Structures are given as C-alpha cells and as structure tokens.
Amino acid sequence: MGSIKVHEFTTLDGSIGAPMWTMDYGSTPEMGEAIGALTGPATTAILLGRTTFEMFAPSWSTRTAEDDPGAPFFNDTTKYVVSSSLDDAESVWRNSTVLGGYDADAIRTLKDSVDGDIYVSGSGTLVRAMLADGLVDELHLLVYPLALGEGPRLFPEGAPRTPLTLAGTQAFDNGVVHMAYRPAAG
C-alpha cells in the first residue's frame, strides 16, 4: 500500500500559491537532501492536481539529469493527475495518466495499488481535499521567513480542523524551516 507524502513551499502566513518568492532565498544542500528524501527510491508515483501538472510539465519534461538531478525522478516516475478538464496527460508529459476529477475513493484505490510512496507537490486544491478526507500520510512544509498577506492558503478560513503530530523539523541556513507532520492519532 502506498503512502501519500505531500511537499509544500509556504510562507509564515500560509500562502502556497505560485511560489516564485522562494527564489529570493535560494536553496541549500540540506534543503536538496530533504526534498531528495521525499523523491528518492521509495517513491514510485507522483500525484498532482491539474494546475501544478500544467506548471510542472513544460519545465520538467525538457530537463535532463545534466540540467537538474531531479529530472529523472520527475520524468521517469509514473504521474497521476487529478483533473475533470484534462483529457490526455500522456501527450503533455510522458508517464502521465489522468485519474478524473477528485474522488477520495479513487485516491484510496491508487494508494492500495502503489507499492511505495506517492509524492505530491503543490496541488493546493487536491491537498486540501485529501487532508479533509484523511488521505495524507505525511505533510512536509518548507516554511519561508516571509509573510505575503495574500494568495491561496493550505488551510484557508473555514477549513476543517486538521489535527497533526510533529514528526520532525530541520532549520536551514537561508532561514527556511522544514516541518514534517503526520495525522494525529485518534
């Protein structure tokens, strides 16, 4: 059975939309290692919402391992796209399949059919729905030392209560903090 591991770039005030602001902080080798742990050999599938898929596909599909060490993971790993409007993901980015619109039972079936971890990045609408349905096994937040005061939030006003248990933290030299959470028991 697969384990869904979500990775989000977020600000201190919870904004997760179009994180171009991350560029102002650069990356550190330790950040690369933290993300690499999520995209390593234990991860056998990628699950994305349509908007994130459409952002990732043109960027990652043209990269090679020489361009970016993450390119083989993103290009070679089977990708599942949750979308009610996208018809053909394979022609856009190889190894991609459309699951259809969000359906918690379809995600459960995917989890049951995958041996290994399922990586989710961005995909705010999808992640919010999966959190509400108890489908996320780990939530990895890379929190940047910035408050935007705008943009979509992972936990917007009116979101259901989501109890989590801290699984780990790691602070990086650029001020970013990686916080890992699991669903709270009970």
pLDDT digits (tens, 9 = 90+) for 44-56: 999 999 999 999 9
Query: What confidence score (pLDDT) does residue 186 get?
Result: 64
Nearest to 175 by CA among 145, 142, 140, 141: 145
Query: What confidence score (pLDDT) does residue 92 get?
Result: 87
Total Cβ atoms within 10 A of residue 25: 17
Under the banding of pLDDT at 50, 70 and 90, the label for residue 131 is very high
Nearest to 72 by CA among 53, 94, 51: 94
Query: What confidence score (pLDDT) does residue 90 get?
Result: 83
56, 75 contact by CB (below 8 A): no
pTM over 0.85: yes
The structure tokens 């989000």 sit at: 8
pLDDT digits (tens, 9 = 90+) for 33-81: 999 999 999 999 999 999 999 999 999 999 999 998 889 999 999 999 9
Map out the domains of the chain as residue ranges: 3-183
Rg (CA), the chain: 16
Exposure of 96 by Cβ count < 10 A (0-12 exposed, 13-18 middle, 19+ buried)?
Answer: buried
- Fold of the 3-183 domain: Dihydrofolate Reductase, subunit A (3.40.430)
One-letter amino acid for residue 56 of the chain = F
Flag whether pLDDT at 150 surpasses 80.
yes
Query: What confidence score (pLDDT) does residue 34 get?
Result: 95
Mean pLDDT on 151-177: 94
pLDDT digits (tens, 9 = 90+) for 76-128: 999 999 999 998 888 889 999 999 999 999 999 999 999 999 999 999 999 99
